[in-house]
Amino acid sequence: MQPGDVRVFQRGKGNALVIGLGVWAKRSGKKHNGKWIDIHLAGPNDSLTTVTNNPKSKRYHRTFFRNLRRTLIQYECWSFGDEGLETESK
């Protein structure tokens, strides 16, 4: 499966999708002096979005960032040590 691949399957009464997403993390740009981490998601139709651990950003979503961070750690794709750990608690 490659980023952007889509498979349709039946789930309950409606249809559902499995979507191949490219997921990676890198430091935020110069605007924030690299203080925050952005997790990027690339999907179908050249879609790209980010979620960040910067609570002042409109792209901040604590639980989404936390869950993606956990997945990146699980697959040894997280190179930021304990950074982002604050999203584990409220």
Residue 55, pLDDT > 80, answer: yes
The residue-averaged pLDDT of 28-34 equals 73
- The CA distance from 41 to 13, in Å, is 28
Confidence bin at 32 (pLDDT 50/70/90): low
Q: In this predicted model, what pLDDT tens digit does every residue of 3-20 receive, in sequence order? A: 889 998 887 777 898 999
Query: CB-based burial of residue 31 (10 Å sphere; 0-12 exposed, 13-18 middle, 19+ buried)?
Result: exposed
The residue-averaged pLDDT of 8-33 equals 85
Q: In this predicted model, what pLDDT tens digit does every residue of 77-89 receive, in sequence order? A: 999 999 999 999 8
